[in-house]
Structure 1
């Protein structure tokens, strides 16, 4: 894969304009789909657990969502090359937005898993297409900042919608959250239909495939280092509501806010000084935040730990994908977006499912400590990347 690797572009004296109309449409689509996604992300596991199956059901709810997401991300770049951005993203919006309307019919595992599997297909389309479009539409000299701005766009729903969904479920019931999540995703369908039709001609020739990207060590190392923090993020959104009780909504809010702010900062820093040097401190901060959840001290320690985890996780999000984009030409942007999202969503699903089993065996505090320790195993990857 050495023929696709490029050096990072130099920083010019005069930076080109960042925003454009197509980029604004991409951000609108990302905001709506992520709002619909995050409203339900912690609520569906709670809904599944309400059927009486407990933590195992909660883990399967997240695991099924991420399983189909990972499977779909392998083929989304090929679908975009064949059919174009517009119809593929429009189909993804429908797959993400319509299935939650079936959840009020039953809290049984069959319905929950089926809805998660279909929503995962739509989520895969939304994140891969949006990621590739952002990388294509922003100037290369400001890619880190553009990715940081994209992180704010998708981070604001995490800041607001993730804790809001938990709060609404407790005060108005699950059905209200399911309808709101569906409406938020479907509302951006007109914007998706107004996006550019196809990738640039130069991006569709000799495009780096997803499997090729997975075989490329220069891409795989930063993606694997990021996956360690993404697995912990899946644990947080799935199990923090059950383990932290009344402090969960505030802790999720702080974690998402810290991740959004640090993701934007990391983009600006990376454009000037290089994104790769941020991977090691970002992973250390995220691991320390996860381990802090096992400490005594109640809500104050929980919120502080989530602030630290969020800061490290946001740095890892921006730095890892910026490093990967810098190492490929435009023809590889779709593959980079898919590989990065594969590491994100696959690790989230595995983290949620695996932690449920560990917590059932050893309890939440020991499982949180174990998670932090496992994350440290990825430090050599972060250093080499």
Structure 2
């Protein structure tokens, strides 16, 4: 009988441990590092606004995101030159050092600091993703990497609202030292990581062809577009909601993403990424429809759904992207995945907001729902892309 190309995960496979010292160490690195980043994210935006108004805050965030994408694109070459572990240490050191100079009195220096932090973040994200993929057992890759993902996401829930409070009550010096201290803790946690994940001599550090990863990367970008749009224009789109309801909606979104990234990962490992990707995109479309409705209940439902959809899409698409490329191109694939994530957030914040000024907030969310439904149809079609064996 001819052998088939179906991969069956036995009970032995699924019993492979993921809560190893190395994986927990990587989760600790990301929890501390992203806490450092998110603590300063909103605090620096508030400081920029005090220097030059709302426009300055927008420029600071724009510079940060553009530099992050630049760092992600450059990361595979940096890893090729230095190895993964050294690249991780360098990124964390740069991030921590930049924290100490995060609140200058000059807007130009502030924008320069945002560029430095963005490059450090981009290299950190790609390097950490590559290390996590190396440490994860192949049969439980999505589940193991969801541990890393949740550790990266929880700080956004906790540290983003904490940053402005620390800045206003304790001042910029304490805020800067707090961000630096968290980065130093992350640096210390790298000692737990094994040395043999540092470098692969046979790695191809070029980016894989876009055609290989276009479908999962686009699906991920859709989830990020919705999250970016909601975070940016939610108070304007729902003036009927109180500030408390808006904050609750943001909490629902962040918590939903963290929960479903973990909860969906085992299904991705056992049954593949296609159905979860389709379900995530369908949930994005439904969430956008809810956000288009002028109702507090619909808004809260849409925010929860958008977060849950984003979590599912993160688990499904990272597994899909890694399955489509050769093992030697894992760092480049991780870079493209992270670029899709950050570009989607930026597009959601800019393009959907711009569309809303022309056609209204409800129509803008309805248009994004139609876009997500279209992408879902493409994602569920057989694309003929060959996948490497596990």
TM-score, length-scaled by structure 1: 0.85
147-156 vs 165-174, which deviates more? 165-174
Structure 2 counterpart of 1:97: 96
Q: CA deviation at 1:295?
A: 2.2
Which structure 1 residue ranges, 5 or more long, are not aligned? 1-6
Task: Report the alpha carbon displacement of residue 364 of structure 1 after superposing the two structures with TM.
Answer: 4.8
Separation in 1, partners of 2:233, 2:170: 21
**Following TM superposition, by how much is the alpha carbon of 1:261 offset from its aligned partner in structure 2, in angstroms?**
0.9
Residue of structure 1 equivalent to 2:27: 27
Q: What are the equivalent positions in structure 2 for 1:47-58 lying under 5 Å apart?
A: 47-51=47-51, 53-54=53-54, 56-58=55-57
Residues 86, 198 of structure 1: 8 Å contact kept:
no
Q: State the SS of the aligned residue for 1:159.
A: helix
- 2:336 aligns with one of 321, 335, 339: 339
1:9·1:141 contact (CA, 8 Å) conserved in 2? no
Q: 2:316 aligns to what SS in structure 1? A: helix
Counterpart among 290, 293, 314 of residue 311 in structure 2: 314
Contact 1:100–1:179 (8 Å) recurs in 2 = yes
**Counterpart position of 2:66:** 67
The 8 Å contact of residues 74 and 123 in structure 2, kept in 1 or not, is answered as: no
Q: Tell me how far apart the structure 1 counterparts of residues 213 and 71 of structure 2 sit (CA, whole Å).
A: 19
Give the Cα separation in 1 of the matches to 2:28 and 2:251. Answer: 22
Cα distance in structure 2, aligned partners of 1:182 and 1:242: 34
2:77 is the counterpart of 1:81: no
Over residues 67-125 of structure 1, what are the superposed CA-to-partner deviations in whole Å (9 max), with x where a residue is unaligned? 111112122122222211222111111222332443433373x3443222111111112
Contact residue 41 and residue 237 of structure 1 kept, 8 A: no
Partner of 1:4: none
- 1:175 deviates by 6.3
Q: Distance in 2 between matches of 1:186 and 1:380?
A: 45
Residue 247 of structure 1 corresponds to 245
Matched with 2:211 is: 217
Match runs of 1:333-372 below 5 Å: 333-359=330-356, 364-372=361-369
Give the Cα separation in 2 of the matches to 1:184 and 1:237.
Answer: 25
| Alpha-carbon shift at residue 359 of structure 1 (Å) | 4.8
Q: Partner of 2:222 in structure 1?
A: 228
Within 2, Cα distance between the matches of 1:47 and 1:361? 30
- SS at structure 2 position matched to 1:189: helix
CA distance in 2, matches of 1:325, 1:279: 14
Q: 1:173-197 deviations in whole A, cap 9, x for unaligned?
A: 6765554333322321122355344
In the aligned structure 2, how far is the partner of 1:269 from the partner of 1:226?
18
User: Does 2:36 correspond to 1:39?
Assistant: no
Counterpart for residue 282 of structure 2: 284
Shift of 1:284: 2.0
Q: Distance in 2 between matches of 1:240 and 1:181?
A: 28
Higher relative contact order (CA 8 A, sep 6+): 1
Structure number, greater radius of gyration: 2
How far apart, in 2, do the equivalents of 1:81 and 1:117 lie? 23
* Aligned counterparts of 1:36 and 1:72: Cα–Cα separation in 2: 18
Give the unaligned 5+ runs of structure 2: 384-390
1:187 to 185, 188, 191: 185
Give 1:209 shift: 2.0
- Which shifted more, 272-281 or 321-330? 321-330
Aligned-partner SS, 2:101: helix
